Amino acid sequence: MKKQINEILKELKKHSSQKNIKGMERFGITSKKKFGVPMPVLRKMAKHIGKNHELALKLYPLGYHDTRLLASFIEIPEKVTKQQMDKWVNGFESWADCDSICGALLDKVPGAREKAYSYIKSKKEFVKRAGFVIITWQAVHDKMVGDKVFIDFLDIIERESHDERNFIKKAVNWSLRTIGKRNERLRKLAIKKAREIEKQNSKPAKWIAKNALRELENYRFK
């Protein structure tokens, strides 16, 4: 295992790029440790490695943005415990690791939706964002879940739309737009909810609503 990890680190260093690191920082990817490896390279490495729970548990604690993403790509959702999920989520350092890891792994973990509801109650910005992002990715990936889950979630979106923090505001908006693009019924309900949110005496709420309405009112399903 140690030899394999050393080989992975060697490969990551090989593809390390200061130019990419600076570009990441300009886009708010502020992770303290990162090699700046392009996403296509990480996904190719993950495909070569294959699914490996034990290796994922070793890679994630190394603390690099790149090793965390790679760990999430090779991890097996069914083997992720609640404790592991909490630990990974509480370690998020930027919107990028939050969104990528939630979309690649955490939205598929058994019990993810219940964990998402608990994360939304957190005062930590990226933990709270993770709660919204998990539900957002489920709206994209989980074709079997019924509309009621997302209809109920619209009330949570309304409740939390006052949060002024940039990465929360954007996550709430993303959830509202994505739910509205799941099907025509949800689009109409998301538009209705956006109009209710717009009435709040809150700048972030008005921004969330106007941004969502601009996209959803003109959205048409193929």
Does 174 fall in a domain?
yes
> What does pLDDT average to over the chain?
95
**Rounded Cα gap, residues 143 and 6, in angstroms:** 39
- Number of structural domains, the chain? 1
Of the chain, the percentage scoring pLDDT greater than 90 comes to 91
pLDDT at 30: 81
pLDDT at 128: 98
Contact of 138 with 107, CB cutoff 8 Å: yes
Does 62 fall in a domain?
no
pLDDT in tens, 76-121: 999 999 999 999 999 999 999 999 999 999 999 999 999 999 999 9
Higher pLDDT pick, 102 / 22 = 102
> In which domain, by residue range, is 210 found?
146-222
pLDDT at 185: 97
Measure Cα distances from 104 to 63, 75, 196 in Å.
18, 9, 32
Place of tokens 């939390």: 160
Does 194 fall in a domain?
yes
Provide the 10 A C-beta neighbour count for residue 143: 6
pLDDT at 19: 86
Asked whether the predicted pLDDT for residue 54 surpasses 80, the reply is yes
Contact of 141 with 112, CB cutoff 8 Å: no
Does 120 fall in a domain?
no
pLDDT in tens, 117-165: 999 999 999 999 999 999 999 999 999 999 999 999 999 999 999 999 9
pLDDT at 71: 98
Does 209 fall in a domain?
yes
Does 27 fall in a domain?
no
Does 133 fall in a domain?
no
